[in-house]
Amino acid sequence: MVARSVSILHHGEQGGSCCPHPSPPPWDPAEDLHCITTTFQYLQTSGWYWGSISASEAREALLTKSEGTFLVRDSTHPQYMLALSVKTRSGPTSVRIEYNRGCFWLDSISPGLPHLQSFPDVLSLVQHYTVSGQTPQDLAAIHPQTKPDTGRHAAKNGGVPLKLVHPLHSSQGFPSLQHLTRLTINKHTNCPDQLSLPKPLLRFLQNYPFSI
């Protein structure tokens, strides 16, 4: 799998972002509940959501893994719900995931924050940076929650290249054969609802429309 790469201190993603908005329209708080509930349902199904482990525990889990191995966990910071922990070429690090008004994006200290691409759920965010066969340099001003183990590979400005390749499943979240089959189907079609399958199987595919 060829991963999209992200640089922690540079931004090159100029796609439109749905949040934050300079003049936000009226927002129904019930939409927050729906969005957050949906995201956690997806995460629980994914198998690579590790729950309330700490940054140090995530580091230990990733320390011996290959570059690009990642997991999602609860953030220990009271102002954030989730964090993305990933093994970079300089060691494990964590990046907080921002949320506002139905959108998720990676934490940033860049002046270009309004241009950072945002997503309706965390699974879409992660999948964006793990798309197979894509090699564009998606650069974002990402603020790491924890420092890498060593700075010898870091850029002079302190940037740490961040790329997502494959998830690290928790011991309780190893995927079933049915889920692995669903991931394979999703990798090969963008329109699973058009497949000639029984309705229960179509609903099973629709309940997790991702390939990771």
pLDDT at 174: 85
Tens digit of each residue's pLDDT (9 = 90 or more) over 122-152:
999 999 988 643 433 443 435 555 555 444 4
* Residue 176's pLDDT band (cuts 50, 70, 90): very high
- Give mean pLDDT, residues 101-121: 78
pLDDT of the residue at 114: 58
Query: Higher confidence at residue 12 or residue 19?
Result: 19
Give the pLDDT mean for 173-188.
91
Position 90 scores a pLDDT of: 87
CA distance linking residue 4 with residue 162, whole number of Å = 9
Mean pLDDT, rounded, of the chain = 79
Mean per-residue pLDDT, 39-54: 96
Strand order in the sheet with 69-74: 103-106, 91-100, 82-88, 69-74, 166-167
Mean per-residue pLDDT, 150-170: 66
Picking from 82, 22, 78, 26, the residue whose alpha carbon sits closest to that of residue 50 is 82
| Helix (H/G/I), strand (E/B), else coil: 3 | coil
Domains observed in the chain: 5-173 (3.30.505.10), 175-212 (1.10.750)
pLDDT tens for each residue of 47-73: 999 999 999 999 999 999 999 999 999
- Check: CB of residue 99 under 8 Å from CB of residue 87: no
Q: Which two tokens stand for residue 189?
A: 């079609």
- pTM flag (> 0.85): no
